[in-house]
């Protein structure tokens, strides 16, 4: 009978300890890490959506602006490079991997900006319904990318702050020794100025 009550007391103590640990933030580190990884997945999802729209946009422009082959080629090449440079959630603590990904996506954004600027020289293209629909979808996707990146940056900030402040720093050291700060997006200096387009 004593062993039965001893087991119940031990079980009750374990439950009480688990509840108190859960309440003191021991789960914050993995929770914030998973949130940041989920936000990263949304960033990748939006970049993929943009990459999927580009071939249709290029084909539409091709029909109207055959002499703009160099611009079209740059967009296609930038898209190919951007889709080749991938980063998974486990690489988010590697700033160089994030930087390579960001540079590839930035090059694609720049090429797309030039392509859309080219359309200003082609009144027939600007009035084409397919082009207008694709341009609108692309602009919407760029907005979604900006929102997804903002959300990811906020999630990474919360996670990194948890790893650097007390008691999160202690909890990570005791329970999650492999937890490392994640890299975030940084704006490239060339993105501060609007792209220059010359004809």
Could you write out the DSSP letters of every residue in 95-131?
A: HHHHHHHHHHHHHHHHHHHHHHHHGGG-HHHHH-HHH
The pLDDT of residue 190: 54
The two structure tokens encoding residue 194:
């609007």
Q: Is 87 left (phi over 0), alpha (psi -120 to 50) or beta?
A: beta
The pLDDT of residue 88: 87
The Cα 188–Cα 199 span in angstroms is 25
With a cut of 50, which residues of the chain have pLDDT below it?
A: 192, 194-199
Buried b (16+ CB within 10 A) or exposed e, 10-48: eeeeeeeeeeeeeeeebebbeebbebbbebbebbbebbe
First to last CA, the chain: 92
Per the CB < 8 A criterion, the answer to whether 77 and 87 are in contact is: no
Q: Which domains can be identified in the chain, with CATH numbers?
A: 31-192 (1.20.1440.20)
Helix (H) or strand (E) holding 75: helix 69-84
pTM of the predicted structure, to 2 decimals: 0.75
């Amino acid at each position: 009978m004593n062993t039965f009550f001893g087991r119940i007391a031990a079980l009750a103590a374990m439950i009480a300890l688990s509840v108190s640990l859960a309440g003191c933030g021991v789960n914050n580190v993995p929770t914030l890490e998973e949130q940041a990884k989920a936000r990263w997945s949304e960033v990748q999802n939006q970049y993929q959506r943009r990459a999927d729209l580009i071939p249709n946009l290029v084909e539409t422009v091709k029909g109207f602006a055959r002499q703009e082959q160099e611009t079209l080629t740059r967009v296609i090449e930038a898209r190919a490079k951007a889709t080749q440079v991938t980063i998974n959630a486990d690489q988010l603590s590697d700033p160089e991997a994030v930087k390579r990904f960001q540079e590839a996506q930035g090059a694609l954004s720049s090429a797309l900006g030039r392509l859309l600027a080219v359309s200003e020289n082609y009144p027939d293209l600007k009035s084409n319904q397919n082009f207008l629909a694709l341009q609108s979808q692309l602009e919407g996707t760029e907005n979604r990318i900006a929102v997804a990146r903002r959300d990811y940056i906020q999630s990474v900030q919360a996670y990194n702050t948890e790893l650097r402040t007390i008691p999160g720093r202690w909890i990570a050291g005791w329970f999650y020794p492999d937890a490392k700060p994640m890299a975030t997006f940084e704006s490239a200096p060339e993105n501060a100025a609007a792209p220059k387009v010359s004809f």
